[in-house]
Structure 1
Amino acid sequence: MDLMQLLNILRARIWLILLVMAATVATTTVVSFVMPKQYTAQTDLIIDVKSVDPVSGAAMPTQMMSSYMATQVGVVKSHSVGLKVVKMLKMADNPSAVEQFEAVTDGEGALEDWLAKALLKNLDAIPSRESSILAITFTGADPEFAALIANAFAQAYVDITLELTVEPAKNTSRWFNGQLQVARANLTEVQENLARYQSEMGIVTSDARLDIENARLNDLNRQLVAVQAQSMTDQSRIEGQSPENLPEVINNPMIQRIKAEVGTQEARVNELSSKLGSNNPNYINAKQELRLLKVRLATEMKIVLDSFRSNYAASQQHEEAMRAAVEAQKLHILALMNQSDIITVLASEVQNAQKAYDFALQRFSLFSMQSQVGQTNIAILNAARPEYKPSNPRILLNIILSIFMGGMLALGLALLVEMFDRMVRTVSDIEKGLDMPVLGVLKKAKVARRQRKLDWARLEWMKRSTQ
């Protein structure tokens, strides 16, 4: 079907089209005037989604603002808010509401739930796309009642939001209070364990005491090294040198004096032997004196050597005592280190218990303050006022829409009628529909109305005469 065929069909069915459009518009107009009038009231709320929490100091991330507004819409349209409005306005005490409830539900269910559901059916919450404003609208048959309900929903929403913030904080605060008591008892216990162990071991400051004992061990080690060095020196002098070459012998004045006397006496004996002979009394006396000097020298050297050996033995004993003292000091330090490790473990337990207690105290304080917050980030920007201009039905809009919809319906109906009552309206209908060539087209003759009447009368007379 081309455009020309469509236009010819519409022109041929123009009266049907006009009739359908007129019927549609008339019906819509009548229904619009008959429908009960509805009034819509709107309350505007501003939600400060960028505000900082007055207790925790945290701010909402920017990417969560859209989902936050969608959540708030869900809260406004929730059954809990509807119930709060019903309780706030004491709607369950209204006799007419009770009668309607009995008539509709036969008394089944709760009246407050039924009223809340009825209110929510006419409620809508619309968030602004470019701002943080949330519009709460309510539609009803009475403009003042609609404004009252819209404002009540706004206030109930603010109250519910505050409850949703405060109640979880109260529950969490109570839980952290119990944890705080446990953490305090644990901290007290580990502190007492540490103090008891320090008291039993007589430890004041383990680190300082350990440093002192380490310094003492180092001093003992230095003394031991010195004693060992002296002992080794004395041993090498005893084993590797002649007693006459010992420094103690060489540096002894008595021995040196006796040695000098021995040398002098030996020279005298040699001289007397060469002059007087070995049987001379003077020679014999001189030799006897020489023997006595040598005995005296040997005695003095023995005294010095015995003293040296005695000192060496004492040095050995001192070395053993120093070695034992070093080993004892090492054991003492090991014991102190063991005590220090135990104290470190106990101190670590105290530190961990202190951290747990501080964390529990911090969270308890935070949620305790949050449970006492009396404000939210929501404020009523514009309270609803009675709007006496009905929001529904919109007569002019309905008429405009009925013209459009009636036209579409009329066109569809005209095409449907044409489909079941097909007529030849253009040359292409014959060519395409009958697949036959068109020899010619007779145009409609232009005849006056009076002549058409005469022709019609003549045609009727001819029909009667033939009968």
Structure 2
Amino acid sequence: MRKIIDATDTADYQSMEAGGVPRLPLLRQYLRIALRWRYVVGGIIAGCLLLGIIITFVMTRQYTAATTVEISRESNNIVAIQGVEREAGLADQEFYQTQYGLLRSRSLAERVAGQLRLVDDPTFFKQFKVKSDAPAFDLINGRYSPTGRQVRQRVAGDVLLDHVDIAPTRLSRLVEIRVTTPSPELSAKIANAWTASFIQASLERRYQATSYARNFLENRLEQLRSRLEISERQLVSYASAQRIINLPAAQEQGRTSTDRSILTDDLTALNTALTAATADRIAAQAHYEQRGAAGATTEALRNVAINNLRQRRAELAAEYKKLMMQFQPEYPTAKAVAAQMSQIDQSIAREESRVTGSLQAEYRQALDREQRLKSRVEALKQGFLDLRRRSIQYNIFQREVDTNRQLYDGLLQRYKEIGVAGGVGVNNVAIVDPAEVPNRPSSPRLVLNLALALILGCGLGVLAALALEQIDEAIVDPADIQKELGVPLLGSVPKLREGQPKDALLDRKSELVDAYLAVQTNLQFTSDAGIPRSIAVTSTRPAEGKSTTALALATTLARAHKRVILIDGDMRSPSVHHLIGTSHDRGLSNFLSGQNDIDALLVGAEALGFVVMTAGPIPPNAAELLTGDRLKVLIDRLLEQFDHVVIDSPPVMGLADASLIGSHVQGVVYAVESHGTRTSSVKIALSRLASSRARILGMVVTKFESKKASYGYGYDYGYGYGRAEQDA
């Protein structure tokens, strides 16, 4: 791919399509657009600021009064009784959102309007510019009709809602109620009335909730009372018919027992006595069976009389043994001792026999008592089983009575609690700071309005600049040549601010000379042989700088020690003779008309170093002169004498001259005025040249001002480089 080199560092833009240096950042592009349309943006901003100032001074002064209240999650419990409404939890945000919604409710606004008698005040509606054709707003002797009070109250509530702002303080229980009206006294009055009405409405809602609950519980209590009476009658009737007698419940050791029958108590008592009798019988039987063969029983061994007799006998036996050691059994004293021993043995036998009889009698008595108790217990068991069979329906009636009594007692207790709780005026809303009459207006604020106007102006200005940038099809930046038209950029020429092009070209230090030297350098790379020998310079429309470009190219080529001739090919509106200060009495039109003496048609431009052929006399139809082969013959003959032939061609749009000239030269240099030519027009002109098989060498952006470029950079770099030091 052929690469065009620009001494002003335009290679960045021409290498974009080939993967070279990318475009500038988007922010810089927008900055360039803003600088280009800065006057439009500035005008819009100034207009918005002026409009903001006017609106600020025209607006009605508004005054804001604020009151601060604290809304607690739980109200202070005056009595330790729970109310009907559910208390909010620690993280219950629904409670606070509900309170904020109630503060913004229409009913509260209408309530405040009614309490302050704003619905009957014509000044209030006039102050807020309320206009209505409804009959409710018709004045009769300066007053409103009472029949339309409800309509006016609804309208007044809407007005208050539009001027009241509820602002909760974040992470706290505080809520600020702000009221903004044209009157400072009215703002404070409404703010305080709003808070008082909200507290009163909260208490009324709580009382209404308990009142509804009381009415509901009264109806339920009456129903349960009837059901309890019916169930109790059924229970008593059945108990009387079945002769079921139950003792009332008793409390023992902290526990309450259920109702019990007399038969159950008898059976329990007799069963306990039977158990004791059985134990006694077993004990008596054991004692009776423990007697020994000799009649020595445990009772006999524990008997005191028997033990004393046995001790006395042992003493006599010891005394008898002592006598036997000295005397014979027949000894009177020994016989007396033996007789006493025999009497004591008889006494011991009699006592043991008496103890044994006593044990037998006791055993028989215990056995008899046990038998009688067993018979009685068996009889009670049969009666108890019969009672159990008859108590099934009784228990059903009893459970129904107990259930109805529990429900009745619970509802009765709740009814009493609600009555106490509903009668106590508990409140969870407290006024922290009441509203005071404001001393200065809260709006309009000049600084805020100007800031908003500035933001709006900047936004509208940016939108306008972007819109104009999209609408504008002019060649703004040299980078657009390669991007939009697909034609190589030969260079950009700065706008000549003062003087004539000829004078600027004579000054070799001028920016114009530097720019066209860059164009000449880029032309060397348009073909393998260097700069084409025959070149035509054209543009889309007149006054785009094509004649100056043709003059400058001829000048730079001549200074490169080339023999150059400049031909004014615009025979409709010639301009080259003006640039070099001569006339066009003879020139190109003479040769195309048939004159063959070329030397007679040439004019010397010694100051610039080349030869000029002016347009000559203006012909009736220039296109007819260019349709023949005389132009090709002229170019061929001139190339025998000169190194380069430069032709100042007419514009392309509307004429066929440029296409005819372009078909006879080796290349065409296209001049485009910066900020002056539409891209669509250039594309049409290029398509016409392409249809005539003209070769476009590249484009030169004329009258370029780098400060107006939207993106590019570096186009004027180097034009003044080093001149200050040289001049010094």
TM-score tier (shorter): 0.5 to 0.7
Q: Does 1:105 align with 2:134?
A: yes
Q: What is the Cα deviation at residue 110 of structure 1? A: 1.7
Count how many residue pairs are aligned between Structure 1 and Structure 2: 358
Are the structure 2 counterparts of residues 403 and 98 from structure 1 closer, same or farther at C-alpha, using a change threshold of 3 Å?
Answer: closer
* Counterpart residue number, 2:57: 33
CA distance in 1, matches of 2:181, 2:48: 27
Q: Does 1:49 align with 2:56?
A: no
Q: Does 1:127 align with 2:168?
A: yes
Are the structure 2 counterparts of residues 207 and 432 from structure 1 closer, same or farther at C-alpha, using a change threshold of 3 Å?
Answer: same
Are the structure 2 counterparts of residues 397 and 202 from structure 1 closer, same or farther at C-alpha, using a change threshold of 3 Å?
Answer: closer
**Does the 8 A contact of 2:475 with 2:481 survive in 1?**
yes
Of 313, 328, 333, the residue aligned with 2:384 is 333
**Does the 8 A contact of 1:169 with 1:367 survive in 2?**
yes
Of 77, 94, 97, the residue aligned with 2:121 is 94
Are the structure 2 counterparts of residues 180 and 141 from structure 1 closer, same or farther at C-alpha, using a change threshold of 3 Å?
Answer: same
Are the structure 2 counterparts of residues 211 and 6 from structure 1 closer, same or farther at C-alpha, using a change threshold of 3 Å?
Answer: closer
**Does the 8 A contact of 1:52 with 1:59 survive in 2?**
no
* Counterpart residue number, 1:266: none
TM-score normalized by the length of structure 1 = 0.66
Q: What is the Cα deviation at residue 405 of structure 1? A: 1.9
Q: What is the Cα deviation at residue 20 of structure 1? A: 1.5
Of 467, 472, 475, the residue aligned with 1:421 is 472
Matches within 5 A, 1:363-378: 363-378=414-429
Q: What is the Cα deviation at residue 343 of structure 1? A: 4.3
TM-score normalized by the length of structure 2 = 0.44
Of 84, 88, 106, the residue aligned with 1:60 is 88
Q: Deviations for 1:183-230, whole angstroms, at most 9, x for unmatched residues?
A: 33443444455455556627253434224247669999xx9xxxxxxx
* Counterpart residue number, 2:217: 176
* Counterpart residue number, 2:263: 209
Q: Does 1:358 align with 2:409?
A: yes
CA distance in 2, matches of 1:323, 1:148: 95
Are the structure 2 counterparts of residues 37 and 95 from structure 1 closer, same or farther at C-alpha, using a change threshold of 3 Å?
Answer: closer
Pairwise CA RMSD: 3.9
* Counterpart residue number, 1:241: none
CA distance in 1, matches of 2:376, 2:184: 104
Secondary structure, aligned partner of 1:135 = strand
Q: What is the Cα deviation at residue 355 of structure 1? A: 0.6
Secondary structure, aligned partner of 1:440 = strand
Of 436, 443, 446, the residue aligned with 1:395 is 446
Q: Does 1:77 align with 2:104?
A: yes
> What letter matches 2:422 in structure 1?
S
Secondary structure, aligned partner of 2:387 = helix
Secondary structure, aligned partner of 2:95 = helix
CA distance in 2, matches of 1:116, 1:6: 50
Q: Does 1:154 align with 2:190?
A: no
Secondary structure, aligned partner of 1:371 = helix
Secondary structure, aligned partner of 1:173 = helix
Q: Deviations for 1:381-415, whole angstroms, at most 9, x for unmatched residues?
A: 11111223222222111111212221221222123
Identify the range of structure 1 (426-435 vs 393-402) with the bigger mean alpha-carbon deviation: 426-435
* Counterpart residue number, 1:139: 180
> What letter matches 2:108 in structure 1?
V
**Does the 8 A contact of 2:71 with 2:173 survive in 1?**
yes
Are the structure 2 counterparts of residues 440 and 211 from structure 1 closer, same or farther at C-alpha, using a change threshold of 3 Å?
Answer: same
> What letter matches 2:66 in structure 1?
Q
**Does the 8 A contact of 1:217 with 1:329 survive in 2?**
no
CA distance in 2, matches of 1:325, 1:24: 116
> What letter matches 1:352 in structure 2?
T
CA distance in 1, matches of 2:43, 2:273: 125
> What letter matches 2:419 in structure 1?
S
**Does the 8 A contact of 1:207 with 1:340 survive in 2?**
no
Q: What is the Cα deviation at residue 77 of structure 1? A: 1.1
Matches within 5 A, 1:220-239: none
Are the structure 2 counterparts of residues 324 and 139 from structure 1 closer, same or farther at C-alpha, using a change threshold of 3 Å?
Answer: same
Q: What is the Cα deviation at residue 328 of structure 1? A: 6.5
Structure number with higher strand proportion: 2
Are the structure 2 counterparts of residues 6 and 202 from structure 1 closer, same or farther at C-alpha, using a change threshold of 3 Å?
Answer: closer
Q: Does 1:12 align with 2:36?
A: yes
Of 494, 501, 511, the residue aligned with 1:443 is 494
> What letter matches 2:121 in structure 1?
N
Secondary structure, aligned partner of 2:197 = helix
Secondary structure, aligned partner of 1:439 = strand
Q: Return 5+ residue gaps in structure 2 as ranges.
A: 1-22, 137-147, 248-259, 278-370, 505-574, 585-728
CA distance in 1, matches of 2:166, 2:29: 51
Secondary structure, aligned partner of 1:442 = strand
CA distance in 1, matches of 2:32, 2:383: 122
Identify the range of structure 1 (354-363 vs 54-63) with the bigger mean alpha-carbon deviation: 54-63
Identify the range of structure 1 (136-145 vs 423-432) with the bigger mean alpha-carbon deviation: 423-432
CA distance in 1, matches of 2:267, 2:476: 125
CA distance in 1, matches of 2:32, 2:94: 56
Q: Return 5+ residue gaps in structure 1 as ranges.
A: 224-318, 453-458
Are the structure 2 counterparts of residues 442 and 381 from structure 1 closer, same or farther at C-alpha, using a change threshold of 3 Å?
Answer: same
**Does the 8 A contact of 2:76 with 2:427 survive in 1?**
no
Secondary structure, aligned partner of 2:489 = coil
Are the structure 2 counterparts of residues 161 and 328 from structure 1 closer, same or farther at C-alpha, using a change threshold of 3 Å?
Answer: same
Are the structure 2 counterparts of residues 104 and 36 from structure 1 closer, same or farther at C-alpha, using a change threshold of 3 Å?
Answer: farther
Q: What is the Cα deviation at residue 40 of structure 1? A: 1.7
**Does the 8 A contact of 1:210 with 1:337 survive in 2?**
no
Q: What is the Cα deviation at residue 139 of structure 1? A: 1.5
**Does the 8 A contact of 1:127 with 1:133 survive in 2?**
yes
CA distance in 1, matches of 2:497, 2:131: 75
> What letter matches 2:132 in structure 1?
A
Q: Deviations for 1:310-335, whole angstroms, at most 9, x for unmatched residues?
A: xxxxxxxxx9xx99999865553333
Q: Deviations for 1:290-349, whole angstroms, at most 9, x for unmatched residues?
A: xxxxxxxxxxxxxxxxxxxxxxxxxxxxx9xx9999986555333332454454334323
* Counterpart residue number, 1:163: 204
Secondary structure, aligned partner of 1:37 = coil
Structure number with higher helix proportion: 1
Secondary structure, aligned partner of 1:144 = helix
Are the structure 2 counterparts of residues 22 and 334 from structure 1 closer, same or farther at C-alpha, using a change threshold of 3 Å?
Answer: same
Identify the range of structure 1 (380-389 vs 416-425) with the bigger mean alpha-carbon deviation: 416-425
